[in-house]
Structure 1
Amino acid sequence: MNNNLGLHETLELHELLLFKNTCLTKANTLSEVAQDQELKNILKADAKASQSEIQDIQKFLS
């Protein structure tokens, strides 16, 4: 799939991938220290969504 992407598009996907990795790290870290169970559930759901989005982005880059 990478053959169809321009250089600027590839760089933007890398930037988005870096951002989503940061989001995933933050959600995982905060879910471990959160006291409120509802907040933990929200953070874990966000981490799961971020993992899925990271995999989708990686498909475009491979």
Structure 2
Amino acid sequence: MRFIPWYLTRGDVLGALFVLAVLGLLIFTHIRFPGFAAAPGFGPDWDCKSAPQGDPVCVKKIAR
């Protein structure tokens, strides 16, 4: 068992760069679009209320 003399291969370096690129992309999208995952409802003209059991109930607001 050799623990200390560990040499990086080309696959190790490319794999690490791929993981860093994916993490960078995830961090960029989280910073650029902060509310992307938490989009409630269909838009500003809809009013959604959560029900205690079941799916939320959405009602379209009346036009004024």
Q: Say yes or no: TM over 0.5.
A: no
> Higher helix share goes to which structure?
1
> Higher strand share goes to which structure?
2
Report the TM range for the smaller structure's normalisation.
Answer: 0.3 to 0.5
